[in-house]
Amino acid sequence: MELKNNEYIKILLLIFLPIALFFISFMIGRFPISPIDVVKTILSPIFPDLAVSPTITTIMFQVRLPRIIAAILIGASLAIAGAAFQGIFKNPLVSSDLLGVSNGAGFGASLAILINGADIIIQLFSFIFGIISVSITYIISKAYKTGGILVLVLSGVAISTFFNSLISGAKFIADPDDKLPEIVYWLMGSIANVNMSQIVMIIIPLFIGFIILYFLRWRINLLAMGDEEAQSLGIKPSRIRLLVIIGGTLLTSAAVSISGIIGWIGLIIPHISRMIVGPDNKILLPTSLSLGASFLLLIDNISRALIPIEIPIGILISIIGVPLFLYLLRKGYSEWS
């Protein structure tokens, strides 16, 4: 398809932005590393002569690299899932945790913490419970004959609330000296202690989720027209919606299982992306992916660099994200008119 000049520039910027932030992120932290040392160290596994010092190698590859990868994967996942969900629910106000995935994952993690589970058990529980809660939501919505999107959204709200009460219950019985703070910290969301083995565990669900959404992205446009119109255009809306829910849920639960609950990205990044490239999901989904990854990298850098104590990333996202969102709303935004 033909592209205009400014569209080429946008696409180049959207590719360049996360790559640039990827390199910059190695430099920032309690131990600053110069750009030249970053480039040299990155190349050192191939050209061992370039290695600057063992300390820098350790900091970059052992400490910062897992965080950087986690930020990219989590930001991209939450944003693309949010964009896809807004499309299939015909609503710019929904985000990827609409169907209860976050609270389900939160309960899974709390449960694992209560039974003294190791990190890997916490991750596994939160991933599985995220998927369980969305499955319950979907099955309940199918049980009603009238079906439709509204029933699905409302059962999502109900199941979300249900798992939220279970989280409160878990907090209530948790030992206030060690278990309770651990649960609360998990719920705040953080990628400070992410390690490579955790990332490796989520690669497969993320890959499946990305593939599903990437290939269905143009079809999501049709669902935004309403089910009957979509059907008259030859597609089966319920099938596309189910596939997108599966893809989005895999992405969100996998992301949340290593980071804890991170809100807002799934709501605001698709919005910002839509302001830049318009509502066509064929372009919107890749744009959300790029901006989601960039945004979380940026926030994570700020959380490391701003003050000596590390701020949980979930808190920082809201503090930065809300004013940013309100500012963008003010700058002429015609979507709801």
Partner 1 sequence: MVIKECVLMKRLLDVKNISFTYDNKRKIFENISFNLEKGDVLCILGPNGTGKTTLIKCLNGLHNINSGEILLENRNINSLNFREISKYIGYIPQNHTPTFPFSVMDVVLMGRAPYINITDHPKDKDVKITKNALKDLGIYSLKDKEYTALSGGERQLVFLARILAQQPDILILDEPTAHLDFGNQIKFLEIINKLASKGLSIIMSSHFPDHAFISSNKVAIMKNGTFIDFGLPNTVITEENLKKAYNIDVKLIKLTENRKISVPMKTNLTLNIEIEKK
Given the complex with partner 1, which of 169 and 226 has the nearer CB atom? 226
Given the complex with partner 1, which of 87 and 104 has the nearer CB atom? 87
Given the complex with partner 1, which of 74 and 213 has the nearer CB atom? 213
Given the complex with partner 1, which of 1 and 200 has the nearer CB atom? 1
Q: What is the Cα–Cα distance from 334 to 337, expressed in whole angstroms?
A: 5
> CB of residue 328 vs partner 1: minimum separation in angstroms?
16
End-to-end CA gap in the chain: 30
Binding site for partner 1 (CB under 8 A): 1-2, 87, 90-92, 215-219, 221-222, 224-226, 228-229, 231-236, 240, 274, 278-280, 282, 334-335, 337
> CB of residue 88 vs partner 1: minimum separation in angstroms?
11
Given the complex with partner 1, which of 34 and 232 has the nearer CB atom? 232
Please give the angle made by the CA atoms of 127, 21 and 206, to the nearest 5 degrees: 20
Structure tokens at 114: 């209560």
Shortest CA distance to 189 belongs to which of 316, 302, 297, 321?
Answer: 316
Given the complex with partner 1, which of 45 and 226 has the nearer CB atom? 226
Residue 260: count other Cβ atoms within 10 Å of its Cβ. Answer: 25
> CB of residue 324 vs partner 1: minimum separation in angstroms?
21
CB 260 within 8 Å of CB 211: no
Please give the angle made by the CA atoms of 267, 76 and 252, to the nearest 5 degrees: 70
- 335 half-sphere exposure, CB direction, 13 A CA radius: 20
Given the complex with partner 1, which of 95 and 123 has the nearer CB atom? 95
> CB of residue 34 vs partner 1: minimum separation in angstroms?
44
Structure tokens at 23: 């390199």
Given the complex with partner 1, which of 184 and 224 has the nearer CB atom? 224
Residue 305: count other Cβ atoms within 10 Å of its Cβ. Answer: 13
Given the complex with partner 1, which of 17 and 276 has the nearer CB atom? 276
Q: H helices then E strands: how many in the chain?
A: 14, 0
Residue 113 CA, distance from chain mean position? 23
Please tell me the total number of residues recorded for the chain in this structure: 337
Distance set, CA 322 to CA 16, 316, 326 (Å): 25, 10, 6
> CB of residue 337 vs partner 1: minimum separation in angstroms?
8
Structure tokens at 242: 């189910």
> CB of residue 265 vs partner 1: minimum separation in angstroms?
20
Burial class (CB in 10 A: 0-12, 13-18, 19+), 114: middle
> CB of residue 283 vs partner 1: minimum separation in angstroms?
10
> CB of residue 195 vs partner 1: minimum separation in angstroms?
35
> CB of residue 285 vs partner 1: minimum separation in angstroms?
11
Residue 75 CA, distance from chain mean position? 4
